[in-house]
Structure 1
Amino acid sequence: MSEEADAGRDDPEDATTAAGDATGADAAESTGRDGDDVIETALADEAAQYDDALAAEVAALEREAVESADRIEELESSLRRTKADFQNYKKRAKKRQEQEKARATESLVTRLTEVRDNLVRALDQDEDADIRPGVESTLETFDRVLAEENVEVIDPEPGQAVDPERHEVMMRADSEHPAGTIASVYKQGYEMADKVIEAAQVTVSDGE
């Protein structure tokens, strides 16, 4: 056989190697495509899961916002009702206070008319009649009315110390009482429920 014929004959080993190389290349190409497909699928699934989670979170936030708005509206409505009820209560309380004040005034006036009636009867007596007993009786009635209203007369005794809250000094005068003490009472005062409504007017001794 000639050398040309030997050269033209295929080498089994070379053919096997070439076939293996071709198969490996095809396998590598196939493996590369499959890997890319797997990665793309995983990314797509992850993106879908992310979108679903985000959508669920947005939906939850929207529900929470709606619930919060409903709660705010409920509280505002309750506040409006409470304010209206309080205003009505204030009006009722003021009206009741005015009614009680009117009744209290009416009661006082009714008792004072008794005092006036006594004075009228005293003046209806004869001019030469002694009206002192009638005046004294009227004064007792009047004092009783004042006592019922928790009113007390401020009538300090001469020689007592001056109380600036209950006594109004009108002038200084010669007196046998110690200097700076009350010499005499010019006009009685009045206090009601421990509150001075009119101070007693007094003169003060200068000690001479």
Structure 2
Amino acid sequence: MSNDAEQAADADADAEDASGESLAERVREHDEDLGDEVADLEARVAELEDDLSEAEDEVEDLTERLQAKQADFQNYKQRAKQRQEDIRERATEDLVERLLDVRDNLGRALEEESGDVESLREGVKLTRKEFDRVLDAEGVSEIAPEEGAEVDAQRHEVMMRVDSDQPEGTVADVYRSGYEMGGKVLRPAQVTVSEGTGDE
């Protein structure tokens, strides 16, 4: 390409002349091959600008959708948390209502003035059965190992070792029952452990 053509291309790179010709057309007047190359470049630039515009629109759309999804997820988390709190509150209310019945029965037993100890004992037994039904409905079960049972470190708390007819290292007696719920120990059973009779 001649120096004159290069100078013409540089001079007209950023604007069209008064005739309205494109840069490629003006360059082609001086160098047809270079003009064709410029035309190809202009077409490629226009294509890339279109692609960039489409990509920017897509990014904007995806950003808006992502923000909407994030907002939906936050709302879902809040609703789920609120539902859990509502369920927990209702469960607590239900448990308290059932315990109130137990308390009422204990109150009636204490108000009994007949002096009939056996009748009082029977009333307390019935109240305890009612309380056990409440615990059972909540999935709470008693931990009360039998004498001679193996000691379970997860469910039993050893209080002391005592002489006993039971095999050495096994449960001799239950000092206080334990309780578990859903496989989780709420309170371990307190037990004494046999040291054996000492007889050879």
TM-score, normalised with respect to structure 2: 0.81
The question of 1:197 aligning with 2:186 is answered: yes
Aligned to 2:62: 75
Please point out which of 151, 159, 177 is paired with 2:148. 159
Measured after TM superposition, the shift of residue 128 of structure 1 is 2.7
1:66 aligns with 2:53: yes
Match of 2:82 in 1: 95
Counterpart AA for 2:195: D
Which deviations, in whole Å up to 9, do the C-alpha atoms of 1:102-137 show, x marking residues without a partner? 000000000011111111111111273211101100
Q: Relative to structure 1, is the Cα distance of residues 162 and 102 closer, same or farther in structure 2, using a 3 angstrom cutoff? A: same
Match for 1:86: what amino acid? Answer: F
1:124 and 2:111 aligned:
yes
Residues 106 and 79 of structure 1: CA distance in aligned 2, closer, same or farther (over 3 Å): same
1:121, 1:128 → 2: CA distance? 14
Match runs of 1:130-169 below 5 Å? 130=117, 131-169=120-158
Distance 1:92 1:151 in 2: 29
- Give me the whole-angstrom Cα distance separating, in 2, the residues matched to 1:87 and 1:93: 10
Q: Which runs of 4+ in 1 moved over 4 A?
A: none
For the aligned residue pairs, the C-alpha RMSD in angstroms reads 1.5
Alignment partners' CA distance in 2, 1:61 and 1:86? 36
Q: Quick one: which amino acid aligns to residue 196 of structure 2?
A: G
Bigger CA radius of gyration: 1
> Helix, strand or coil for the counterpart of 1:165?
coil
Aligned length: 168
Does 122-131 or 55-64 show the bigger shift? 122-131
Secondary structure (helix, strand or coil) at the match of 2:31 reads helix
Pairs within 5 Å for 1:45-56: 45-56=32-43
- CA–CA distance in structure 2, aligned partners of residues 156 and 164 of structure 1: 12
**Which structure features the higher share of helix residues?**
1
Mark the runs of 5 or more structure 2 residues left unpaired by the alignment: 1-27
